């Protein structure tokens, strides 16, 4: 008979049984009495002292024959992330930017290289849908910003992906094996760190980049992976002496399986957080390179290049600098807030401050 009852009916029946036990325990001569402190000493059927309402639901579910569903670590991490209001808002902003970047022709009112010689150097206006104004050649600046957003985000995510892959592999190998392999890889990391970053970046971009987004992204990725490698190495150094690693080694697991099947999942939190920071750094560095003329070159639009072209006319054409600059700042802040939310979500010791 009980098997055919629904979950709600069994919970209701369990609550009635629990309430009856509490009433029986509080009634005179029923085996329970109220103490001087207001606590209730009951028989075996009542709730133990110190059990709150949340625990009573678990007891009701258990006594009613219901299975208590355990929540995974990722469920708790997701809940902590969505309690971080700035991170959630930033995630929405980044998703909107990504949608605009994936379908720029659908949202841009004009093509990025379409000329309108009747509206040259016009400020922001609703006439002709030039909401961000036009540049020196009459090109709609809103359209150019949307197409430049596609270039900047593509370069940023490419940089973050390649740098994360290289940094994770190098850090994992150095931290797991140690010894001369660790010394060799860390000296390579130190060599890249001591080289003047901007100088080597400008030289490589000028001679190897050729203004192409893919080449610029690879050059950036091969220079900014070192920070992640040091983080992953530190985590692997602390994990390689753990019991589960020794158990996997005793079970006959190979080095690659131990590193990437058993140890790597424990480093997902720091890797994800660092990857988001790499995205923000790549957006700013690519904009700086394009502004200086060493990044993505025309006709491909880039946010930094738009600022560089608009800065030549000074404050008289303020919209040519302001709107691309606002987009860069918004993207960088959004990615950093997302990283902050992921750090709080993946590290249980962190507190959500937003």
Residues 49 and 95 in one domain: no
Residues 141 and 275 in one domain: yes
Q: Which residues contact 5 (CB under 8 A, 6 or more apart)?
A: 13
More reliable by pLDDT, 224 or 78:
224
Residues 154 and 16 in one domain: no
Distance CA 153, CA 151 (A): 6
In a domain, 84, yes or no: yes
Helix (H) or strand (E) holding 143: helix 141-177
Indicate the residue among 43, 63, 83 that finishes a domain. Answer: 63
In a domain, 333, yes or no: yes
Write the CATH number for 307: 1.10.3720.10
Which residue, among 338, 328, 339, 330, has the nearest Cα to 295 in the 3D structure? Answer: 328
Residues 185 and 310 in one domain: yes
Q: Which of 155-164, 204-213, 321-330 has the lowest mean pLDDT?
A: 204-213
Number of domains in the chain: 2
In a domain, 68, yes or no: no
Residues 227 and 111 in one domain: yes
Distance CA 307, CA 322 (A): 8
* Torsion angles phi and psi, residue 49, rounded to 5: -65, 140
Distance CA 143, CA 154 (A): 17
Which residue, among 181, 180, 185, 175, has the nearest Cα to 258 in the 3D structure? Answer: 175
In a domain, 6, yes or no: yes
In a domain, 284, yes or no: yes
Q: pTM of the prediction?
A: 0.73
- Residue 327's pLDDT is 93
Helix (H) or strand (E) holding 257: helix 255-257
- What residue numbers bound the domain in which 47 lies? 2-63
Q: What percent of the chain has pLDDT over 90?
A: 22
Which residue, among 297, 273, 151, 168, has the nearest Cα to 221 in the 3D structure? Answer: 168
Question: Measured between alpha carbons, how far apart are the two ends of the chain, in Å?
Answer: 50
Which residue, among 319, 327, 346, 354, has the nearest Cα to 123 in the 3D structure? Answer: 319
Residues 34 and 167 in one domain: no
What six digits make up the tokens of 343?
Answer: 């750090």
Question: Locate tokens 């005793």: which residue?
Answer: 250
3-state SS class at 134: strand
Instruction: Write out pLDDT tens, residues 73-127.
Output: 677 778 888 888 898 999 999 999 999 999 988 888 888 888 877 878 888 888 8
Instruction: Write out pLDDT tens, residues 326-341.
Output: 999 999 999 999 988 8
In a domain, 69, yes or no: no
More reliable by pLDDT, 200 or 45:
200
- Omega of the bond leading into 242 within 30 degrees of 0 (cis): no
Residues 216 and 158: beta-carbon distance below 8 Å: no
Residues 246 and 182 in one domain: yes
3-state SS class at 40: strand
Instruction: Write out pLDDT tens, residues 243-286.
Output: 888 888 888 888 888 888 888 888 888 898 899 989 999 999 88
In a domain, 351, yes or no: no
Residues 128 and 209 in one domain: yes
Indicate the residue among 63, 92, 115 that finishes a domain. Answer: 63
Average pLDDT, the chain: 79
Residue 233: pLDDT band (50, 70, 90) is very high
In a domain, 70, yes or no: no
DSSP calls for 236-258: HHHHTTSHHHHHHHHTT--HHHI
Residues 157 and 104 in one domain: yes
Indicate the residue among 41, 63, 85 that finishes a domain. Answer: 63
Residues 53 and 194 in one domain: no
Which residue, among 73, 149, 61, has the nearest Cα to 334 in the 3D structure? Answer: 149
Residues 192 and 51 in one domain: no
- Residue 45's pLDDT is 44
What number of H helices and E strands is found in the chain?
15, 2
Torsion of CA 258, 230, 169, 277, to 10 degrees: 120
Residues 51 and 195 in one domain: no
């Amino acid at each position: 008979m009980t098997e055919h009852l629904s979950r709600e009916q069994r919970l209701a029946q369990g609550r009635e049984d629990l309430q009856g036990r509490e009433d029986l325990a509080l009634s005179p001569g029923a085996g329970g009495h109220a103490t001087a402190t207001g606590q209730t000493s009951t028989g075996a059927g009542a709730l133990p002292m110190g059990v709150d309402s949340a625990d009573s639901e678990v007891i009701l579910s258990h006594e009613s024959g219901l299975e208590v569903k355990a929540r995974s670590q990722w469920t708790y991490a997701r809940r902590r992330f969505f309690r971080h209001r700035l991170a959630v808002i930033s995630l929405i902003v980044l998703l909107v930017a990504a949608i605009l970047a994936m379908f720029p022709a659908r949202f841009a009112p004009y093509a990025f290289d379409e000329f309108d010689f009747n509206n040259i150097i016009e400020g922001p206006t609703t006439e002709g849908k030039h909401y961000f104004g036009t540049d020196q050649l009459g090109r709609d600046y809103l359209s150019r910003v949307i197409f430049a957003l596609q270039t900047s985000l593509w370069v940023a995510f490419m940089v973050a992906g390649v740098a994360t892959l290289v940094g994770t592999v190098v850090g994992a190998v150095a931290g797991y094996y140690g010894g001369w392999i660790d010394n060799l890889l860390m000296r390579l990391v130190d060599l890249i760190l001591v080289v003047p970053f901007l100088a080597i970046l400008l030289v490589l971009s000028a001679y190897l980049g050729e203004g192409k987004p893919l080449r610029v992204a690879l050059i950036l990725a091969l220079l900014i992976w070192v920070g992640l490698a040091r983080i992953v190495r530190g985590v692997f150094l602390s994990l390689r002496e753990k019991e589960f690693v020794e158990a996997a080694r005793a079970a006959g697991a190979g080095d690659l399986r131990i590193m990437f099947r058993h140890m790597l999942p424990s480093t997902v939190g720091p890797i994800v957080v660092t990857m988001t920071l790499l995205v923000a750094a790549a957006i700013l560095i690519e904009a700086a390179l394009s502004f200086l003329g060493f990044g993505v070159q025309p006709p491909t639009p880039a946010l930094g290049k738009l600022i560089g072209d608009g800065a030549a006319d000074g404050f008289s054409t303020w919209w040519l600098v302001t709107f691309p600059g606002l987009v860069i700042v918004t993207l960088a802040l959004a990615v950093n807030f997302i990283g902050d939310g992921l750090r709080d979500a993946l590290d249980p010791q962190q507190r959500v401050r937003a």
